[in-house]
């Protein structure tokens, strides 16, 4: 019984016998002790009727065993006998409901099932009659509920992990997109850098050309002041020809007009290249923050960003001189010739 040693069982039987035979013991305690002795001796002397783990759960055996040993540590009293009676009745009732139907015939069990003693507490009767049966029936449901709860906990844990992995995947995807975009804008920025190098070189040569043409345009009138009877144009003419002073002056004016014309073209070209360089530098700078700006623009108030966008993305305007065309120089030359023709020849 309860895996108790034979010595412990003999000690229990001895104590129960003593209290049963004592003249000081009340009748109810004697009655309960007699039923306990009968049940213990029957189980102890008939191995077939021994309660084992096949008929009672390990938890119940451990619980009942501890309570019996606790009772044995002190002298048996009426209260301890009643408690021992109830513990054994629980044991045999559970064994009967789990398949050992013969245990239902033990008087210690029928005492509660038939409710022979009117003094017996109704709670104890209900426990033996109904609660043990209800406990056995609900065990499977409890195990199923525990299994379902464990599965739900696992599902929640997996859901949390999946959510974390989803966030990490989204962050990685965002990082990859930013990296790809940055790579694209880096290539675009490098293209702008190459264009800037080409435009810077072009600006340098345009500046040199403008300086040379400007120097030539200044040197012509200075040379004419130093040589009033000569002209740069007539100096290249053969001495065999007789060229009038008016013709010399007109040729100098034409040369000056042509020089100024090409100077204006060089100046306009230089200003145009400067404007192109500024535009390229602006676009190169935009490549560095265009991704963050696009994300910010989607979430921010578009109206508040209007002026900012107009300032950043509008074209940089300058006031360059209108591009001179060939008719400007032709018109100047025709006016000089017309004036020469109207003068009387010397």
120-154 pLDDT tens trace: 577 777 777 767 777 777 766 666 777 888 888 88
pLDDT recorded at residue 44: 64
Per-domain boundaries in the chain: 6-120, 181-342
What pLDDT is recorded for position 327?
44
Q: Note the residue count of the chain.
A: 346
Query: The tokens of 38 are what?
Result: 């009968």
Q: What is the mean pLDDT of residues 145-164?
A: 84
Q: What is the pLDDT of residue 284?
A: 74
More confident residue, 187 or 54: 187
Of 38, 137, 122, which Cα lies nearest the Cα of 88? 38
Average pLDDT, rounded, for the chain: 71
Cα distances (Å, whole numbers) of residue 273 to 101, 201, 215, 285: 109, 10, 21, 18
With cut-offs at 50, 70 and 90, classify the pLDDT of residue 211: very high
CA angle 137-3-56, nearest 5°? 5
**Token digits for 143?**
């195990």
Residue 91: count other Cβ atoms within 10 Å of its Cβ: 27
The token pair at 324 is 């001179």
Residue position matching structure tokens 């008087």: 107
Specify the range with the lowest mean pLDDT, choosing from 77-86, 264-273, 313-322: 313-322
219 in helix, strand or coil?
Answer: helix
pLDDT band at 208 (very low <50, low <70, confident <90, very high): very high
């Amino acid at each position: 019984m309860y895996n108790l040693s034979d010595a412990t069982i003999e000690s229990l039987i001895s104590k129960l016998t003593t209290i049963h035979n004592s003249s000081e013991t009340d009748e109810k305690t004697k009655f309960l002790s007699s039923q306990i002795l009968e049940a213990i001796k029957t189980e102890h002397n008939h191995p077939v009727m021994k309660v084992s783990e096949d008929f009672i759960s390990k938890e119940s055996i451990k619980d009942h065993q501890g309570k019996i040993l606790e009772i044995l540590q002190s002298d048996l009293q009426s209260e301890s006998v009643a408690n021992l009676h109830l513990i054994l009745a629980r044991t045999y009732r559970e064994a009967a409901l789990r398949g050992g139907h013969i245990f239902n015939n033990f008087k210690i069990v029928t005492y509660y099932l038939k409710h022979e003693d009117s003094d017996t507490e109704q709670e104890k009767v209900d426990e033996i009659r109904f609660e043990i049966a209800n406990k056995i029936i609900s065990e499977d449901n409890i195990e199923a509920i525990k299994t379902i709860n464990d599965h739900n906990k696992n599902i929640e844990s997996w859901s949390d992990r999946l959510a974390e992995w989803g966030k990490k995947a989204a962050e990685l995807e965002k990082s990859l997109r930013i990296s790809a975009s940055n790579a694209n804008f880096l290539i675009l920025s490098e293209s702008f850098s190459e264009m800037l190098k080409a435009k810077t070189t072009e600006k340098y040569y345009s500046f040199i050309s403008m300086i040379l043409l400007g120097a030539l345009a200044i040197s012509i009138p200075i040379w004419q002041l130093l040589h009033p009877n000569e002209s740069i144009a007539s100096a290249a003419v053969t001495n065999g020809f007789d060229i009038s002073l008016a013709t010399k002056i007109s040729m100098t004016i034409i040369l000056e007009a042509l020089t100024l014309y090409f100077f204006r073209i060089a100046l306009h070209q230089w200003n145009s290249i400067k404007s192109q360089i500024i535009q390229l530098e602006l676009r190169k700078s935009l490549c560095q923050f265009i991704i963050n700006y696009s994300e910010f623009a989607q979430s921010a108030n578009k109206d508040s960003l209007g002026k900012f966008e107009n300032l950043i993305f509008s074209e940089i305007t300058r006031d360059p001189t209108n591009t001179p065309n060939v008719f400007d120089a032709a018109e100047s030359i025709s006016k000089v010739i017309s004036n020469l023709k109207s003068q009387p020849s010397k």
